[in-house]
Amino acid sequence: MRCATMGCNSSNLSPLSPVDLLFLDASELQTRLTERKLTSVQLVKAGLEQIRRENHQGLKLNAIISTPPEEEVIKLAEELDREREQGRVRGPLHGITIIVKDAIGTHPELKMATTSGSYALKTSVVAGDSQVIEKLRKAGVLILGKANLTEFCQMKGDNITTGWSAVGGQTTSAYIEGGIRHDQGRGGPTMPGGSSTGSAVGISAGFSPIALGTETDGSVIQPANRAALFAVKPTHGMVSLEGAWQLSTSFDVIGPMAKSAGDLANLLNVIVKNETANYPEFLTKSFANLRLGFVDPDIWRFPDAYSHPIDGVRDQMRTAYLDAKSKIETLAKKVEYPISIVLPEDLNISGQPSISNVITYEYGPLIDSYLKNLTESEVRSLDELIKWNEAHRELELPEEYPSQSRLVAARDNVPSLENYQAIRSHLKMVTDDLSAVYDAHDIDLIVIPTDSPICSVSAATGFPIGTMPLGYLDYNGKPFGLAVMGRSGDDGLLLQFMSAFEAAFPKRRVPPPLLANLGGAPEDEPQSMI
């Protein structure tokens, strides 16, 4: 084989190069582990070195808040390598590394605090692993780092850039050079998306092949979209939120991100509550039996106020979406276009923002419960948290982000129970109306541009949604994706669609700036090892 890293030679060839980390998904790494061409110890060391190379150095991505002590995670990797040698493999993710959003609790023995991006929680100690982490570790997955996020999952204050937290700083995209441009809107093409920003950027940067995020309204799907990843926000209630920082019992979900649909299927098999789940069986790589509805991309796009129009950007994304529709029409059982579905404004009641009002109603008690149950913490309630931030303004309320308005609203401006119940009833009707669209058109799934408010519809209804990489802007290289939404429980159909998409469309592109940093070129995809 040729050397995958520029300048190396056969005498010092590593089993895993930085370029390998950019390209290989978890399944491909598992193949190398199975064939004894790689060990989990080597994977851990390579991942940590890549984090050192690009997180605070190199491109300075700021995607990772903390990593475990190297000697500790290597001990865990050595044990998994011994199990493999003894013929005891726990599953397809045995010995694979993962990064998890720093809003998901990890056991103190891993020596990584769970901060949600806040200095107020930097010294806090959780009682143990959250349920999803417990499941991952039981499956032999190695927790390699806690990922940066929009602080408190984007529910600290107004006008905070996605991917910024006081502890982690500003996460930036591995695809875009020149940093963030605030003049192009909160959702402009340089923004990395949030709030699970570090989880997505970390995969694209080769820190780990898989990651977990949390989503209330777009926080898994949108950052994954902007990092050219495959991701799923599962059906609401399908994954335990125990031990995670939560905004809303009505909307919150923990979801996986990866470089392939197969890795998503393996991750879902581990983290869902249903112990008999078998999501890999949906990876048929075929559209043949799918009935699909496509929306009008001129309606389903972000509004100008959120992402200011830039010459050529919307035309490129619209063309890519319609070209994808035309290609899938030749492969699927049925395609209907355009179909009409509930719009974001339909979610609101009496002109009030339904989703944000529900979050504001539910958020305070969730914060109080989380803080109360910590083993150690400097704050034990929402009120104490707000006051701590005020007392430590230099850390938590800096000049560029002085607001904690969303925390204050959850304490002082909570909607009435009557208003809350009215919203919940309204959203139930919205869910019924959207479900009727599937029946009326006799379709299984709805396909939408990911760069749109579709995540709000998914949040309001609890329906699962997935995204996959469709293209890259000529303007600045920002990835943009194709989203697919099913009804509750149709998570497997999303995976079927995504596996079929992988088989029919070009492979995802790794970040050119990172590849250039390594002295490589786009054709430097790793070859199979001899």
List, by residue number, the catalytic residues. 101, 195, 219
Pair of tokens at residue 58: 């190199």
What is the C-alpha to C-alpha distance for residues 251 and 150, in angstroms, rounded to an integer? 17
Beta-bridged to residue 445, according to DSSP, are 292
Other CB atoms within a 10 A radius of the CB of residue 333 amount to 12
Indicate the helix (H) or strand (E) that contains 65: strand 64-66
Q: Could you tell me where the beta strands, DSSP code E, fall in 179-287? A: 210-215, 230-233, 253-258
Cα(245)–Cα(227) distance, rounded to whole angstroms?
A: 24
The whole-angstrom separation of Cα 224 and Cα 234 is 14
For tokens 């949906």, name the residue. 282
Give the integer Cα–Cα distance in Å for 353 and 58.
41
- What does the alpha-carbon distance between residue 348 and residue 358 come to, in Å, rounded to a whole number? 11
SS3 of the chain: helix, strand, coil, percent, to 5: 40, 15, 45
Residues 6+ apart with CB under 8 A from 435: 461, 487
* Residue showing tokens 């949040």: 459
* 3-state DSSP assignment of residue 467: strand
Q: How many residues does the chain have?
A: 530
Token output for 6: 């520029």
List of residues 6+ apart from 408 with CB closer than 8 A: 386
**Quick count: other Cβ atoms within 10 Å of Cβ 13?**
14
Strand, coil or helix: 374: coil
> Do 248 and 505 meet the contact criterion of CB atoms below 8 Å apart?
no
Q: Is 113 exposed, middle or buried (0-12, 13-18, 19+ CB in 10 A)?
A: buried
At residue 170, what are phi and psi to the nearest 5 degrees? -100, 115
DSSP E strand stretches across 126-170: 142-147, 164-165, 169-170
